[in-house]
Amino acid sequence: MSNPEKEFKALLKSHATTVERTLETFLADTTFEGEIARPQRLMQAMSHAALDGGKRLRPFLVMESAAIFGISPQQAAIAGSALECIHCYSLVHDDLPAMDDDDLRRGKPTTHKAYDEATAILAGDALLTLAFDILSREETHSAPQTRIELVKLYAQTAGLGGMVGGQMLDLEAEKQPVISEREILTLQAMKTGALIRCACEAGAILGNASHEDRQRLHEFGKIIGQAFQLADDILDVTSDAETMGKQVAKDANKGKGTLISLYGLGVSQQRAKDLLAQAIETLEPFREKADILIEAARFTIERKN
């Protein structure tokens, strides 16, 4: 492993392919029982929302966190895909007219634009439900104790006290734009941070990690979750729609408080670098086993889209 950056880039690509195949399998699953049907239009909308999308950063973090404990990427990709289902459902619902009202996502029409609002709501609901269906299956992990721990982690980070709660705070922040640094950090830790932290911790659970190691990955996930959001906010003011594949400067246009509006761009960029240093420090006990995760942290913070 002489060039971690190069290896990271190759793995980011190959893990994304593994996740894509895994999601395709779950979304093409035609097992049925008795009088149960699988509505075609709903499956197509779920596939539109979940397939051919993004960098698959969250599954990647599950897979590379699990790799520290010797779990194969193929194995970890299953729990990773379940997390991606939650991420994708949240994008579908966030894009709805009653929420952020976006027409474009990853350069494609959003699900309610490609289908209709009702179908998009149901596709989101079905993807969230599918995530727990996947976690419950033996193929995710042979031990029921491990699977139920994953269910608990995913449910707690995705719900009221995590991602959904963060989206609610975000909607409220639009109506009351002047919010404090602490409020912005809380909102971001919940809305985007929760799933990224969840990804790293899920890897530790899959790997049957010690309490200390799990805590390290929890902490690492928390830090890069913050960094990810900060990088997003920086890109929101420095990038353009073509590079991002979605609308930019929309937070500023809506008068939403971000850390950049508090700190300014220069301080924010320095802060992102400090977070990277913290992230690297957190993983030190894993030595070279964490090289790829450290590159992931670097990528998260320095990415261009």
* Helix (H/G/I), strand (E/B), else coil: 9: helix
Q: Which CB sits closer to a copy of itself, 189 or 297?
A: 189
* Helix (H/G/I), strand (E/B), else coil: 105: strand
Q: Which CB sits closer to a copy of itself, 104 or 168?
A: 168
CA distances from 108 to 31, 115, 235, 248, 285 (A): 30, 12, 20, 15, 42
* Helix (H/G/I), strand (E/B), else coil: 39: coil
Ranges of beta strands (E only) in the chain are 104-105, 108-109
At 105, list the tokens: 């996502």
Binding to a copy of itself by residue 136, rule CB under 8 A?
A: yes
* Helix (H/G/I), strand (E/B), else coil: 192: helix
Nearest Cα neighbor of 158 from 135, 182, 184 is: 135
Binding to a copy of itself by residue 244, rule CB under 8 A?
A: no
Binding to a copy of itself by residue 165, rule CB under 8 A?
A: yes
Q: Which stretch binds a copy of itself (CB under 8 A): 48-56, 67-75, 122-130, 200-208?
A: 122-130
Q: Which stretch binds a copy of itself (CB under 8 A): 13-21, 135-143, 243-251, 291-299?
A: 135-143
Binding a copy of itself (rule: CB under 8 A), the pick from 59, 73, 80, 124 is: 124
Binding to a copy of itself by residue 44, rule CB under 8 A?
A: no
* Helix (H/G/I), strand (E/B), else coil: 101: coil
Positions touching a copy of itself (CB under 8 A) are: 31-39, 41-43, 46, 89, 93, 96, 98-99, 116-119, 121-122, 124-126, 128-130, 132-133, 135-137, 144-145, 147-149, 151-152, 154-156, 158-162, 164-165, 167-169, 171-172, 182, 185-186, 189-190, 222
